[in-house]
Every structure is written in C-alpha cells, then in structure tokens.
A and B are shown apart, each in its own frame.
Chain A
C-alpha cells in the first residue's frame, strides 16, 4: 500500500510517520479518547499530590500523620502518573515533530523532570527523618519547601499542558 507520508528526515518524524503515530492521527476518535484518559489521569495525579502537599504545609489533613497520608495517596498518584505517561506518549507519537518544536511542550517536560527531582530529594533526604516529625502539625522547612515547590511545579505543568493545545502549529 502506498504511503501518503514523506520520507522521515529525523527521529521525531520517524515516530510521527510510524503506523502507531499515523493511526492515532488519522483516527476520528483515538486522539480525543487518549486526551480524555490523559486528563482523568492528570487530575488524579494533581489532586492526590495536592492532598499530600497540603498536609506537609500543615494547611489541611493535620489529623493524619504524614505516613498515613502518604499511604492513602501515593499509590493513586503513581497509578495516575503511569496512565498519564502512557496516554501522553501515545498522544506524542501522533504529532511528535510538532510537539518537539513547541516551547510549552519542552518546558512541560522540563517541569516534569524538576517535579521528579523535587520528589526524589524529598524522599531520599528529607523523608529519612520522617519518624521525628511524622505526627507533628508543624513540619520541618525542608518538607514545607518540597510541598510548596511541588504545588507550583504541578500547576505550571497543567498550564503548559493547556498552552500546548493553544499553540500547536504556531511554531515550526
């Protein structure tokens, strides 16, 4: 069968013109359906992270210990994140070369990396002493800083995600 797509000139075009990429791009329902699942996954990630961050900031849920709150929310955060990553990757394949020149997409990826680093630092450094402040309503400044940074980064991720939709095709 003849291909209607030009010969790819870089890796992003190779992804975009792959059978997976073109199937999603050409389908009437695939892209909106993936976007819908992406949004549901994203609000689950953002909402459960916000619950944990508000506890670390001492603004809500102070009756819960930090460990209890973490147990309640973390598995849902990860489930949402994995689903968002899978659907996000599939969305990316359909317009890979357009996304790769969009500054909001690149900034979003950078913000996600920063959110990951922030979480890793909190988990491997600040969280080591959690037993000392687990039940305290007032938490160490390191925990508060991680929570505030996380909230700001995730709101910025949501903003960039929306900005991509409004600027796709502007940049070449």
Chain B
C-alpha cells in the first residue's frame, strides 16, 4: 500500500500539477491564508462541520432504508429532510476543501493520498446519485408499506464505508511524505 502511494506521489511530481501548485503559492489568496495563523485551522473546522452534516444525513437515510431509524416517516419524507443536507453539505465540503488546497497546494496536489481521496469522492457522488434515484422511485411505486431489498440496503452501507474511506484518506494526507 505504502509503495503504491509512494509511486503515485513520485509520478505526480513529474506532471504539470507541480507547476500548478507552485503557481498557486504565488497568488495573493494563498499568501493571505498562509500568513494568517488561523487560516488553515479555520478552513479545516469548516470542512469537518460540512462532513458532519453530510455524513450524518447519509447515515440517517441509510438507517431509514434499513428500517433501523425514522420508521415513523415514509422514505420520501425522510429523503426530503436529509437529501438536501447531503448535497449542500457536499458543496460546503468542496468549498472549504478548496480553501485548504489553496493554502497548501503542494501538500495536497502532489500527494497520492489526496488524489485517491478525490477519486473516492467522485465514486461516492455517482453511487449516491444512483442510490437516491432508485430508492426514491422504488419507494414511490411501492407505497407506504415498501421495504428495500437486500441490494439496496447494502448499497446504503457501502456509501457509509466510502465516506469513512474518504475521511481516512483526508487524515492520512497529513502523514504522506510529499
């Protein structure tokens, strides 16, 4: 595993991402974030708050599909409560993530762990979109007594695992040598 990330980071150093990262370091906004001691920590706090909102909303949706929580409400009602929080939360996460990337471009852009995290994020977004669409349509057709099948229940937990992997990679960015 370590060899894979080492090799990936080594390759990233040969790409134009390194020049792009160096260019970001010359921008005024980068200076503003770097020269203010609290710039990066505050961006990270905003990032964690967004993850908390989106992850908990995802968890509640998964629990409802698995009949483990929220069973007093229908799936469309639970979706109406939590799905907007997942997507607005994701937007918040991306925006605060951009702040962190702009503050420390080399540490992020020339880092294999960061790009695996981004790949996992893209996979999570597509799986979540497909999952939400299929759950909503099946629940609407099935009516009040509808129960999700085994595949749909497992997909919910798969999305939770993807989120945990994204968070794990987010933390390990700090420990990967650049």
Residues of chain A within 8 A of B167, CB atoms compared: 36, 39-40, 43
- Does B45 lie within 8 Å of A159, measured CB to CB? yes
Q: Which residues of B85-139 are within 8 A (CB) of A?
A: 85
Q: Which residues of B127-178 are within 8 A (CB) of A?
A: 164, 167-168, 170-172, 174-175
- Does A42 lie within 8 Å of B48, measured CB to CB? yes
- Does A68 lie within 8 Å of B72, measured CB to CB? yes
- Does B60 lie within 8 Å of A163, measured CB to CB? no
- In the assembled complex, how far is the CB of residue B80 from the closest CB belonging to chain A, in whole angstroms? 8
Q: Which residues of A64-107 are within 8 A (CB) of B?
A: 64-65, 68, 71-73, 76
- In the assembled complex, how far is the CB of residue B118 from the closest CB belonging to chain A, in whole angstroms? 17
- Does A36 lie within 8 Å of B49, measured CB to CB? no
Instruction: Determine, out of A2-10, A46-54, A141-149, the stretch whose residues face the partner at the interface.
Output: A46-54
- Does A43 lie within 8 Å of B48, measured CB to CB? yes
Q: Which residues of A97-156 are within 8 A (CB) of B?
A: 155
- Does A47 lie within 8 Å of B171, measured CB to CB? no
**Considering only CB atoms, which chain B residue lies closest to A71 in the complex?**
B69
- Does A39 lie within 8 Å of B171, measured CB to CB? yes
Residues of chain A within 8 A of B164, CB atoms compared: 40
- With A44-B59, A47-B56, A155-B49 in contact, is A32–B70 under 8 Å at CB? no
- In the assembled complex, how far is the CB of residue A4 from the closest CB belonging to chain B, in whole angstroms? 23
B63 in contact (CB, < 8 A): yes
Interface size class of B (residues with CB under 8 A): 20 to 34
The one of B52, B60, B73, B170 in contact with A46, judged by C-beta atoms closer than 8 angstroms, is B52
B51 in contact (CB, < 8 A): yes
Q: In whole angstroms, how far apart are the Cα atoms of A43 and B160 in the complex?
A: 13
How many positions in chain A have a CB within 8 Å of any CB in the partner chain? Answer: 30
Q: In whole angstroms, how far apart are the Cα atoms of A65 and B73 in the complex?
A: 11
- Does A51 lie within 8 Å of B49, measured CB to CB? no
- In the assembled complex, how far is the CB of residue B158 from the closest CB belonging to chain A, in whole angstroms? 16
- Does A162 lie within 8 Å of B172, measured CB to CB? no
Q: Which residues of B50-73 are within 8 A (CB) of A?
A: 51-57, 59-60, 63, 69-70, 72-73
Could you mark each residue 35-51 of chain B with 1 if its beta carbon is under 8 Å from any beta carbon of chain A, else 0? 00100111011001101
In the assembled complex, 11 residue pairs joining A and B whose CB atoms fall closer than 8 Å, in A order, are: A32-B175, A42-B52, A43-B52, A47-B54, A50-B52, A50-B53, A76-B59, A155-B45, A155-B49, A162-B45, A165-B41
Interface, chain B (partner A; CB < 8 A): 37, 40-42, 44-45, 48-49, 51-57, 59-60, 63, 69-70, 72-73, 77, 81, 85, 164, 167-168, 170-172, 174-175
15 more contacts with CB within 8 A, not counting A44-B52, A51-B57, A68-B72, are A32-B174, A36-B168, A36-B172, A43-B51, A43-B55, A44-B55, A47-B54, A63-B73, A63-B77, A64-B73, A64-B81, A158-B49, A162-B44, A162-B45, A165-B41
Q: Which 7 A-B pairs have the closest CB atoms?
A: A47-B56, A47-B52, A46-B52, A72-B69, A43-B52, A36-B171, A36-B168
